[in-house]
Structure 1
Amino acid sequence: MSPGSATAVAGASPPHFVLVPMMAAGHAGPMLDMARALASRGAFVTFVTTPLNLPRLGRASSDDAPPIRFLPLRFPCAEAGLPEGCESLDALPGLALLGPFNDACAMLRAPLVEHLKDAAGDDAPPASCVVSDACHPWTGEVARELGVPRLSFDGFCAFSSLCMRQMNFHRIFDGVDDDRCPVRVPGFPIDVEISRSRSPGNFTGPGMKELGEEIMAESARADGLVVNSYAELEPTFVDAYETAIGKKLWTIGPLFLMSPVVSTATAEQDTTAIRCASWLDSKEHRSVVFVSFGSLVRSSLPQLIEIAHGLERSNRPFIWAVKPGNLAEFERWLSDDGFESRVGERGLVVTGWAPQKAILSHPATGAFVTHCGWNSVLECVAAELPMVTWPHFAEQFMNEKLVVDVLRVGVPVGVKDAAQWGVDSETVVATREDVERAVVVVMDAGEEGASRRARAIELGRKAREAVARGGSSCRNVELLMEHVTQKKSMA
């Protein structure tokens, strides 16, 4: 189906997709990529955000970039009991505010419905469907008020999403007293065991259990599911997930490969990107280890010290993107310990933001030490690199199982228990010996390392094929538009 042909199905206006992401960098980014993919094929796209999140999304600078209508709704911080400015997950000062944050998100329902009804027939066609993050169950009511289908966007892989569904559906931890006791997940295509301490139950607190049940209920009512993965990466689990939910599932990833490259870097970020590129240019092909744990992880100083010594002992070149809870304390340690002077040009420490996609795709980069967030896993897969897996919370331990046990492109650092997001802890979960061992193994040039790298290269090739014209993910975007257009014509 060529761009614009979805419009021809209905013979009228193009389908109007209303996209509602979770307000967090790791959630909003893939949905913005989805918005570009839909808009480039002729859809009208409204992207819901908030005033403080809007500048973080950036704009496509080229004249031929697909048009997207950004809708910044006022985020009701005060009404929900949040400090002003807490408009995204990564802006929350602690776990205690997660409940109020979700309450604030739910308060967007009425203004969103009102805006979409007022805008219909004015500067936009009526909404054809709502595509929202699974963590926004309130959008189900938005879709019902508008009389349109709701599609749930799953920011996880099919493997982890199916695993979580089966865990919740069968309530596998009922009656299990030992948090570290592995429990088999029923109805899963392969034998998988997981303990409560490694399960995605890290976001606890008042109202969280009820929110989880509401998310499950609304997911069951959704018209279908959109997944940021590609069929060739996890075919068994995509099929099994679709069968389990009894609904259509569209794999349309990796979404960052689907959309045009858009630069939204600030001047400071541009400086960091140039610094990283210049340093990488001086290194040998596939010799560098990149270490980064995403936008939400904040490592304690004792843990950072162990990572530093592990990287030093590995004797491999490295770029390390650090987001500690107390940056000044870490920088003081760097100065007092003499770490940077000892590693010299072999290591580059970047505090704060780092150009992750550019680093992973550079020819000098040879492996990625990652927290196993799904966006990072996909970026690493697309870059054809093996990884050291260091999950922290949410579904990351399940992503690790896919990477290590199924795809066989990962080396576990050996973390036993999940961290709790938003809770400061001085615990060391991986020692310098753990870090050194994992880095040495993942960079091994022997037979095992060569096989791991060959599998990574093959997965990267399949990722590019999936998003190319005629590829599975490209076709699924077109089929998704066709599905919504047909629903629109029948309304």
Structure 2
Amino acid sequence: MESDPKKSTAKLHVVMFPFFAFGHISPFVQLSNKLSSNGVKISFFSAAANVQRLKSMLRPDATLEIIPLTIPTVEGLPRGIESTAELNPSQAELLVVALDQMQPQIRDLLSQLKPHFVVFDFAQEWLPKMAYELGMDSVFYSVFTALATAFLTVPARLPEPNRYPTIEEVKFPPPNFPRTSITSVETFVARDFLYIFRSFHGIRCVYDRVLSGLKGSSIILAKTCNEMEAPYINYVKSQFGKPVLLVSPTVPDPPTDPLEEKWANWLSQFDAKSVIYCSFGSETFLNDDQIKELALGLELTGLPFFLVLNFPTDKDISAELKRALPEGFLGRVKNRGVIATGWVQQRQILAHSSVGYYLSHAGFSSLIEGIVTDSQLITLPQKGDQFLNSKLVSGDLKVGVEVNRRDDDGYFGKQDIKTAVENVVVEDKEPGKTIRDNQKKLKEFLLNEEAENKRIEDLVKELEIVAGIAGI
């Protein structure tokens, strides 16, 4: 896209527009904080109900402004709830319907703000065309691993034009996929992947939306790095034939608030690096059988553990826990196990000296948090890209262990949990073993502040060149 001479004297101005899920909002926030610290003006779009929480996440800066959006009324979507955190999966899909209805509102705002770039998310497939018509560039920001994009949302994924893959076809990588440890996925994982090829509420499926956004954007921005995913990054470049700029998995600033006293006191009872912290994120809900087997598996390890369980907002938490937990469980583990519900200070807990193991759903941001706090990774993915993230860390990178599960339905039992923990504990107690060494190297790379600053500075320079304001 040709540069606009009217912009040549302007500071680089970027609009950030993530989807209304905090798993997407958080990476956009982290990138915004990094860019604003390098003098970039940021206008951050989000639903009005999220503004207060965003203020606590975004660094206070004169160059950073939150722009509240009005979510239109959509039948079935509760009023006043404007992120997926408080919605069931069906309601969350309605947020995409609402997003499509917001196009006139977004066009008006962009016309007023006149940014150089609009950085957008997977759901806003219509943004590239709108941005082009308004004389600005669009940037697709992928908050997923390059592996997830390469395996699922490239043009080569379709076995033939206008035909989506079957469950057997989606078990295997697309044509010309790089030769790595990821050669196939289990049947239950492939069944989950088929979701992205299904239409809902009369709108286009996730695959079509993502592909349209990736194809239509001026630039693809990826939250990854060559040190972790070079083969997949190169494959994505070959599939789309456009610049793929790398942000690297941005590490959030260390938390400033101290850990809540009751949790700090509880954790301090135990030896260094002996506690298993187990959490699946705020929007993942295990069923009763999964909770039972997970709890029994943690009990069998003999190690102290901190288990976080979450339930949909319309559920009675006490009743859910009573029904799901094994009989007599709380009494048997009262001296070495604790269960929390709702939001907890995850980063502070992972950073506590007694925490040594992190059993998680393999959300990409969660994995990074575990790596940089020296928490040995045990993964039990639940949906979507988490399955591929898990294979990346346990296969290619060899910095974690994945819980073994049954191929057809993904069932895991208490012994599978115990075995996975034992496997990582054995390596943890024997210096020089692969997982510990690999994680140490990756941690050093991720925490190299000088290198990260250089990557962000280079990104700003590249954007300035595209915008026609380099050297100003």
| Secondary structure of 2:334's aligned partner | helix
Gaps of 5+ in 1: 1-9, 121-125, 420-427
CA RMSD of aligned residues (A): 3.0
Instruction: Say whether 1:74 aligns with 2:70.
Output: yes
Report the alpha carbon displacement of residue 309 of structure 1 after superposing the two structures with TM: 1.1
Report the alpha carbon displacement of residue 167 of structure 1 after superposing the two structures with TM: 7.7
Matched-pair contact (CA < 8 Å) for 2:224–2:248: yes
Deviates more, 1:240-249 or 1:452-461: 240-249
- Matched residue type, 2:178: P
Which of 385, 392, 396 is the equivalent residue of 2:386? 396
**Residue in structure 2 matched with residue 250 of structure 1 by the alignment:** 245
Matched-pair contact (CA < 8 Å) for 2:29–2:57: no
Matched-pair contact (CA < 8 Å) for 2:147–2:229: yes
**Residue in structure 1 matched with residue 99 of structure 2 by the alignment:** 105
- Matched residue type, 1:322: L
Deviates more, 1:288-297 or 1:326-335: 326-335
1:84-126 C-alpha deviation (Å, 9 max, x unpaired): 133112222342x3443211012222112212323x4xxxxx3
**Residue in structure 2 matched with residue 186 of structure 1 by the alignment:** 175
**Residue in structure 1 matched with residue 277 of structure 2 by the alignment:** 290
Matched-pair contact (CA < 8 Å) for 1:226–1:252: yes
- Mapped to 2, the partners of 1:11 and 1:181 lie a distance apart of 47
**Residue in structure 2 matched with residue 201 of structure 1 by the alignment:** 194
Rate the CA distance shift 1:62–1:19 in 2: closer, same or farther, 3 A: closer
1:135-194 C-alpha deviation (Å, 9 max, x unpaired): 321322331232111011101111222122348534399797665984343212225213
| Secondary structure of 1:345's aligned partner | coil
Report the alpha carbon displacement of residue 480 of structure 1 after superposing the two structures with TM: 2.5
Report the alpha carbon displacement of residue 13 of structure 1 after superposing the two structures with TM: 2.2
Which of 152, 156, 169 is the equivalent residue of 2:140? 152
Report the alpha carbon displacement of residue 234 of structure 1 after superposing the two structures with TM: 2.2
**Residue in structure 1 matched with residue 415 of structure 2 by the alignment:** 433
- Matched residue type, 2:446: A
Report the alpha carbon displacement of residue 417 of structure 1 after superposing the two structures with TM: 6.2
Percentage of pairs with the same residue: 23
**Residue in structure 1 matched with residue 236 of structure 2 by the alignment:** 241
Rate the CA distance shift 1:277–1:168 in 2: closer, same or farther, 3 A: farther
Matched-pair contact (CA < 8 Å) for 2:224–2:249: yes
**Residue in structure 1 matched with residue 453 of structure 2 by the alignment:** 474
Rate the CA distance shift 1:85–1:484 in 2: closer, same or farther, 3 A: same
Instruction: Say whether 1:345 aligns with 2:340.
Output: no
Matched-pair contact (CA < 8 Å) for 1:166–1:186: no
Gaps of 5+ in 2: 1-6
Instruction: Say whether 1:358 aligns with 2:354.
Output: no
Counterpart mapping for 1:189-338 below 5 A: 189-191=178-180, 192-195=183-186, 197-199=188-190, 200-202=193-195, 204-206=198-200, 207=202, 209-257=204-252, 260-261=253-254, 273-325=260-312, 326=315, 327-333=317-323, 337-338=327-328
- Matched residue type, 1:355: Q
* Matched pairs, number: 453
* TM-score in terms of structure 2 length: 0.86
- Mapped to 2, the partners of 1:311 and 1:180 lie a distance apart of 36
**Residue in structure 1 matched with residue 26 of structure 2 by the alignment:** 29
Matched-pair contact (CA < 8 Å) for 2:158–2:164: no
Instruction: Say whether 1:169 aligns with 2:157.
Output: yes
Which of 46, 49, 67 is the equivalent residue of 2:43? 46
Instruction: Say whether 1:114 aligns with 2:93.
Output: no
Deviates more, 1:445-454 or 1:80-89: 445-454
- Mapped to 2, the partners of 1:433 and 1:247 lie a distance apart of 47
Matched-pair contact (CA < 8 Å) for 2:142–2:223: yes
Rate the CA distance shift 1:350–1:79 in 2: closer, same or farther, 3 A: closer
1:323-381 C-alpha deviation (Å, 9 max, x unpaired): 13442223334899332232123112111112222222222221211111111122222
Rate the CA distance shift 1:185–1:324 in 2: closer, same or farther, 3 A: same
Counterpart mapping for 1:117-156 below 5 A: 117-118=111-112, 120=113, 126-156=114-144
Report the alpha carbon displacement of residue 456 of structure 1 after superposing the two structures with TM: 1.1
Report the alpha carbon displacement of residue 37 of structure 1 after superposing the two structures with TM: 0.7
- Mapped to 2, the partners of 1:181 and 1:158 lie a distance apart of 17
| Secondary structure of 2:335's aligned partner | helix
- Mapped to 1, the partners of 2:249 and 2:388 lie a distance apart of 19
- Matched residue type, 2:216: R
**Residue in structure 1 matched with residue 82 of structure 2 by the alignment:** 87
| Secondary structure of 1:388's aligned partner | strand
* TM-score in terms of structure 1 length: 0.83
Rate the CA distance shift 1:387–1:180 in 2: closer, same or farther, 3 A: farther
Deviates more, 1:23-32 or 1:141-150: 141-150
Matched-pair contact (CA < 8 Å) for 1:311–1:318: yes
Matched-pair contact (CA < 8 Å) for 1:21–1:48: yes
| Secondary structure of 2:44's aligned partner | strand
- Matched residue type, 1:169: R
- Mapped to 1, the partners of 2:340 and 2:376 lie a distance apart of 22
Matched-pair contact (CA < 8 Å) for 1:366–1:443: no
Matched-pair contact (CA < 8 Å) for 1:384–1:459: no
**Residue in structure 1 matched with residue 434 of structure 2 by the alignment:** 451
- Mapped to 1, the partners of 2:343 and 2:381 lie a distance apart of 20
Report the alpha carbon displacement of residue 418 of structure 1 after superposing the two structures with TM: 9.4
Matched-pair contact (CA < 8 Å) for 2:33–2:59: no
- Matched residue type, 2:459: L
Rate the CA distance shift 1:347–1:143 in 2: closer, same or farther, 3 A: same
